[in-house]
Structure 1
Amino acid sequence: MPDQYDVPDRHHGGGLGSREEIAYVCDQLEHIGAALEMYGPAGRAPLEHLLAALRDGEDPAAPLDALHEALLAAGDAAGIHGRARGLNPQGVTPATPDEWVLLCPAHQCSRHIWPDGPAAPRCRISGLPLRRERL
């Protein structure tokens, strides 16, 4: 019998699926915002609603669904739920990692990057510094 970590479930309070989707949104923030401004029926509102929900620690399932639908309406064929994830996580180039990784400070998304200097970059959603974790 699979446990809760074996089956991604984006509709139950930030499961693996929603973490991947939030990582995609974080990585593509500027592109998504520009597409919605240009072609979205409600402009950037669905993106801003998701960002506000994440900043407030709310369940992201409904805002993620709304953003997905807005992207489809704007002409994005896959939205955020249909993105194929490659072998490299969002935002990570296939470089050789060092012994530290930088992660979402709020544990809301699965995006991670390798440190490239002494100062940690900031989260694109919360503005908080990314947290360092030893591999």
Structure 2
Amino acid sequence: MAIVCANVEHIRRRLCDSPAGDDTVLQELLNTARGGGEVAGPVNVLHSVLQALGDLQGLSTYTIRRRTGDRDVHPAGTDRERPSEPVYLCPATRCARSWWPQGPVPVPHCAISGEALRRDQL
């Protein structure tokens, strides 16, 4: 769901530009998520539809670029008292979406609820 949420407009555009010309499968997934339903099936359908449209990696085409490294590891000699790094997460904790502030840009919104991602600390 994090991939869908972070890329909903790109995915919608891809679906609407397809021969079918609509985003019904995406809307069904979003409606299921908004209603608190199980999203595994609709996510798999969307993934398969994208593959059928020629995106062989399906949803993986839109994989969120993440920073590398385990942020829970504190090597000897590092300052653990240093303030934590801010991160923004899914407002309803429905998915693993995350976003790091990148200068003076607006905080992204959840494609499911429309709420701004919630601020947290690493």
Provide the TM-score with structure 1 as the length reference: 0.64
Q: Does 1:102 align with 2:83?
A: no
Residue of structure 2 equivalent to 1:13: none
Residue of structure 2 equivalent to 1:63: 42
Unaligned runs of 5+ in 2: 68-83
- Equivalenced residues, count: 105
CA distance in 1, matches of 2:110, 2:26: 16
Residue of structure 2 equivalent to 1:16: none
Q: RMSD over aligned Cα, in angstroms? A: 2.7
Unaligned runs of 5+ in 1: 1-21, 93-97
Q: Does 1:51 align with 2:30?
A: yes
Give the secondary-structure state (helix, strand or coil) at the position aligned to 1:102: strand
CA distance in 2, matches of 1:42, 1:61: 24
CA distance in 1, matches of 2:112, 2:118: 14
1:1-135 maps to which residues of 2 (within 5 A)?
A: 22-39=1-18, 41=20, 43-80=22-59, 82-83=60-61, 88-89=65-66, 99-115=85-101, 116=103, 120-135=107-122
Shift of 1:42: 6.9
Q: Report the structure number with the largest CA radius of gyration.
A: 2
Residue of structure 1 equivalent to 2:72: none
Runs of 4+ deviating beyond 6 Å:
none
Shift of 1:84: 8.6
State the structure with bigger RCO (CA 8 A, min sep 6), 1 or 2: 2
Shift of 1:105: 0.8
Q: Deviations over 1:21-80 (max 9, x none)?
A: x11112221221111112153720110111111111111111101111111222211112
Aligned-partner residue type, residue 108 of structure 1:
R
Answer whether contact 1:41 1:70 (CA < 8 A) is retained. no
Q: Percent identity at matched positions? A: 38
